[in-house]
Amino acid sequence: MSTLALTVNRRAVDLAAEPRTSLADVVRDHLDLTGTHLGCEHGVCGACTVLIDGVPARSCITFAAACDGATVTTIEGLDDDEIATELRAAFTREHALQCGYCTPGMLVSARDLVLRLPEADDRAIRVGMSGNLCRCTGYVGIVRAVTAVIADRRARGIAPEVGGGRTMLGPVGSGHGAAQDERRGAATRAAASPSSSLQNVAIADFTPAATIKQTFEVQHPPAQVAALFADVAAVATCLPGVALTSAEDPNRIEGEIRVQVGPIAAQFAGVARVERAADGMSGRIIGTGNDSRSRSSTQGEIRYRLLPLADGGATRVELTIGYTLTGLLAQVGRSGLVRDLARRLVDQFAANLESKLSGHAVELADADQHLNGLALLLSLIRARLPRWLGGTSRR
Ligand code: FES
Ligand code: FES
């Protein structure tokens, strides 16, 4: 028996399996994730396709032992995924399935194409999907569905992602064939340097559980605001509680957010992908993070748009913040409170941004070096108290 440590659908899993056991058998028989289908069991039909470290792979011919340390996403793990949601709707609309046996593998492979292809090219889609066989549909509806999703996303200004999460050469999963000693060594190195454990974390699109829209204005031209937004390190200094641990690649940053709500202290270590429109007037930051102490994890996305105001001398900043919180903090952080905290955080960010754009140093007081949830909660209570008292006296 080999002991394996995997992250399957964002959940850490430790299990024992025979060296000959396939990844497909592990996810189906050990983890009850039966959305991964088995057809040929010879690597031909693609029904068993899953994501290993963000890259599609046939789980029927992948030894589970070779995936030790890997992140595996099955079709169940794509329930909340933005691209998979759009693909499911398109598959339904275009009659791209009949018996549905091939569909989980089709969706996993199609998602990879949607992520990577610059445009909805019919030949590239057919070649890209040629490793997935369907006995029912004749493929026309499948190709139409994938084409529609790619075309729609590019029309909405969502850029393709070069490599689609591929971070290393060689067969998928090959980076995890090392013995456990190597894994332990990596864990030790990760402890010494927290950011190193984030290097292979895939950042998947997702559908946020909650979304907050907020707008603020700064008295500086859009081009100046866009220039500052392009400097991730400068933006981070305006956010209380945020510290970058690596920004060598300006499109992929690593950092930490510290949150303190009374006795509850959390430190989310995470990684984020930064995307910007060519003119810098809009963009998106999407990331994922974990706090090991509270066993909470979060996925977050900030979309921004810069609009000129007052003959171009001022800028309206439109933010759409989406997040999904799981674990202990999700239980104590009722969504109303989280929303209000987020609003106050944005207010602080706007004030700091204005200072920075005016050439003043942004100096966060010691107590604000972390996102001080207690202080924010107190100000929230102060703001809500009259409403609560009013409601009480009326009753
Ligand atoms: S079952 Fe894996 S490719 Fe057919
Ligand atoms: S829908 Fe039946 S095999 Fe594809």
Where residue 371 sits, what CATH number does that domain have? 3.30.530.20
Residue 302, amino acid? I
Mutating to test ligand 2, I would choose from 91, 103, 146 the residue with most ligand atoms within 8 A of its C-beta, which is 103
Which residues, in sequence order, are bridge partners of residue 58?
49
H/E element, 224 = helix 222-229
Residue 170: how many other CB atoms lie within 10 Å = 8
Predicted local distance difference test score (pLDDT) of residue 178 = 43
191-195, Cβ contacts within 8 angstroms, sequence gap of 24 or more: 194/245, 194/256, 194/269, 195/245, 195/246, 195/254, 195/269
Determine which residue's CA is closest to atom 4 belonging to ligand 2: 134
CB of 97 sitting under 6 A from ligand 2: yes
Q: What is the dihedral of CA 218, 320, 303, 88, to 10 degrees?
A: -170
Last residue of a domain, one of 78, 99, 119: 78
3-class secondary structure, 385: helix
Unique residue bearing structure tokens 């950011």: 195
> Are 264 and 328 found together in one domain?
yes
Predicted local distance difference test score (pLDDT) of residue 372 = 52
CA 128 to ligand 2 center in whole angstroms: 17
Of 193, 254, 200, nearest in space to 72 by CA? 200
CA 22 to ligand 1 center in whole angstroms: 11
Chain length of the chain: 395
Looking only at the bridges linking them, the beta strands covering 314-326 and 296-309 are: antiparallel
CB of 137 sitting under 6 A from ligand 2: yes
Last residue of a domain, one of 117, 137, 155: 155
Question: How many CA within 13 A on the CB side of residue 41?
Answer: 5
> Are 88 and 236 found together in one domain?
no
Domain with 37 in it: 2-78
Predicted local distance difference test score (pLDDT) of residue 137 = 94
> Are 275 and 366 found together in one domain?
yes
Distance between CA atoms of 306 and 349, rounded to whole angstroms?
A: 15
Unique residue bearing structure tokens 């921004």: 304
CA 133 to ligand 1 center in whole angstroms: 9
Predicted local distance difference test score (pLDDT) of residue 331 = 55
Mutating to test ligand 1, I would choose from 22, 27, 45 the residue with most ligand atoms within 8 A of its C-beta, which is 45
Residue 184: inside a domain: no
Specify the ligand 2 atom closest to the Cα of 100.
Answer: 1
Residue 243: inside a domain: yes
CB of 107 sitting under 6 A from ligand 2: no
Last residue of a domain, one of 24, 51, 78: 78
Distance between CA atoms of 11 and 15, rounded to whole angstroms?
A: 13
> Are 270 and 229 found together in one domain?
yes
> Are 367 and 281 found together in one domain?
yes
Residue 367: inside a domain: yes
Give the CATH number for residue 53. Answer: 3.10.20.30
Residue 289: inside a domain: yes
> Are 139 and 27 found together in one domain?
no
Mutating to test ligand 1, I would choose from 26, 27, 28, 44 the residue with most ligand atoms within 8 A of its C-beta, which is 44
Beta strands in the chain, from DSSP E residues, in sequence order: 2-8, 11-17, 49-52, 55-58, 71-73, 210-218, 242-249, 252-261, 264-276, 282-291, 296-309, 314-326, 371-372
> Are 297 and 363 found together in one domain?
yes
Distance between CA atoms of 118 and 140, rounded to whole angstroms?
A: 21
Number of domains in the chain: 3
> Are 118 and 60 found together in one domain?
no
Residue 190: inside a domain: no
Of 289, 319, 290, 286, nearest in space to 301 by CA? 286
> Are 147 and 272 found together in one domain?
no
> Are 217 and 361 found together in one domain?
yes
Task: Tell me phi and psi for residue 275, to 5 degrees.
Answer: -125, 140
Residues in contact with 136: Cβ distance below 8 Å, sequence separation at least 6, in sequence order: 97, 98, 99, 102
Determine which residue's CA is closest to atom 3 belonging to ligand 1: 43
pTM: 0.51
- Let me know: does 364 contact 241? Beta carbons within 8 Å: no
- Let me know: does 390 contact 278? Beta carbons within 8 Å: no
Residue 73, amino acid? T
Residue 196: inside a domain: no
Predicted local distance difference test score (pLDDT) of residue 335 = 57
Residue 186: inside a domain: no
- Let me know: does 316 contact 188? Beta carbons within 8 Å: no
Dihedral sign for Cα 86, 89, 91, 93, please.
negative
The one-digit pLDDT tens for each residue of the chain (395 residues) are 778 889 999 888 888 889 899 999 999 999 999 999 999 999 999 999 999 988 899 999 999 998 988 899 999 999 989 999 999 999 999 999 999 999 999 999 999 999 999 999 999 999 999 999 999 999 999 999 999 999 999 999 998 987 776 666 555 655 554 434 444 444 444 444 444 455 556 666 777 767 778 888 989 999 999 988 888 888 888 877 788 887 677 788 888 877 655 445 667 788 888 888 888 898 888 888 877 666 567 778 888 899 999 788 899 999 888 777 666 566 555 556 666 667 777 888 888 888 888 887 765 544 344 455 445 555 555 555 555 555 444 43
Distance between CA atoms of 202 and 73, rounded to whole angstroms?
A: 10
Distance between CA atoms of 264 and 293, rounded to whole angstroms?
A: 10
> Are 8 and 129 found together in one domain?
no
Task: Tell me phi and psi for residue 294, to 5 degrees.
Answer: -95, 5
Distance between CA atoms of 390 and 210, rounded to whole angstroms?
A: 28
> Are 332 and 355 found together in one domain?
yes
CB of 136 sitting under 6 A from ligand 2: yes
Residue 203: inside a domain: no
CA 55 to ligand 1 center in whole angstroms: 16
